[in-house]
Copies of this chain bind each other. A is one copy, B any other.
Amino acid sequence: MAAAIGALTLRATRAGLYDRLTSGVEGVDATTYPVLSGLDRIGPATATRLAEAIGMDRTVTTRYATRLQEAGLIARRPDPSDARATRLALTADGERAVLALRDAMQSFLAEEMATWPPGEAATFALHLERLTEALAYPDTSRTS
């Protein structure tokens, strides 16, 4: 299992996965993918809030956001309640891109899990989520 985690987090494996996922979507690659999908997940937000949500640095987030903006997938609008802030939001093209990416991921997972006994997929997903959380937030004590 440690080997599986090692392989899963290996550069080549990740690169292969995200290259396949994003190959059909113009303007998105393995680096900008988290920004796009994160923005879809939490909705329109400032760069700082988005950066926190996806575990990325503010500076990296804003730079990749610029790339996505140049590709026409997200838009910047001034925040009405704070003149310092800028609200990031998906454009119509951006939402289409998110849908395409989600479809690609889900079709891959569905194909992979087709042979699993019913119910195991749900259990697996739950475990994977918890394990990932434990990895991402090691300090959070899990005494549930």
Q: List A residues at the B interface (Cβ < 8 Å).
A: 1-14, 16-18, 20, 33-34, 37, 41, 54-56, 102, 105-106, 109, 112, 115-116, 120, 123-125, 127-136, 138, 142, 144
Contacts and interface: CB of A to CB of B under 8 A. Distances in A.
A135 B5 CA distance: 12
Contact of A34 (B6, B37, B123, B129): B6
Instruction: Quickly give the copy total for this chain.
Output: 2
Nearest to A37: B6
Contact of A13 (B4, B16, B120, B135): B135
Do most interface residues of chain A lie in helix, strand or loop, or is the interface mixed? helix
Contacts of A13: 55, 132, 135-136
Nearest to A17: B135
A54 B10 contact: yes
The 7 closest A-B pairs by CB, nearest first: A12-B55, A1-B125, A4-B129, A4-B128, A4-B132, A8-B132, A9-B14
